[in-house]
Amino acid sequence: MSVILPTAVGGTATGWQLVDYATPQSSALVDANGRAVITFDQLDPNQLWLIDHAVINCPAGDLLPPQLRLYAGSETPSRLLDGSSTGDFDVADWPNGLQLSPSTSLLVVWSGAVPGATATIALQVRVLRRL
């Protein structure tokens, strides 16, 4: 059995350099099942995101607020990055940055929202490039 260890990233000492700050935003309509999905473009193979801040909004359903999940690339438990149990309005800060690896897209999924409503997300991101 082989074990794959994570590769260190994040600073110029490990081959990455901060090149930009970005504020990606997007929105999606909630479908009849109370679900909304936003997929951000796949990152370049030489690019890394450190997400510092997020603001999400989506109207609550009848009884419970919608749930929000952030995934790296695909909606599977092993790709889950973070989430919120109050996806109708929530703010998140990651002091060290929530990492989105090269060649990966950010998938944002709400469930339990009001059908026909609009789900939104606004991010503050540090963009790093491989040296």
Task: For 84-108, write each residue's pLDDT tens digit.
Answer: 888 778 889 999 999 999 999 999 9
Number of folded domains that form the chain: 1
Strands 118-130 and 47-57: antiparallel
Burial class (CB in 10 A: 0-12, 13-18, 19+), 90: middle
Residue 99, SS3? strand
Is residue 24 a part of any domain in this protein? yes
Domain of residue 37: give its range: 14-130
Q: Is the pTM of this model over 0.75?
A: yes
Is residue 104 a part of any domain in this protein? yes
Is residue 34 a part of any domain in this protein? yes
Separation CA 82–CA 77 (nearest Å):
11
- The token duo for 10 is 């994040």
Is residue 106 a part of any domain in this protein? yes
CATH of the domain at 69: 2.60.120.20
**Can you say how many angstroms the Cα of residue 32 is from the centroid of all Cα atoms in its chain?**
23
Is residue 9 a part of any domain in this protein? no
Quick: pLDDT tens for 38-66: 999 999 999 999 999 999 999 876 667 89
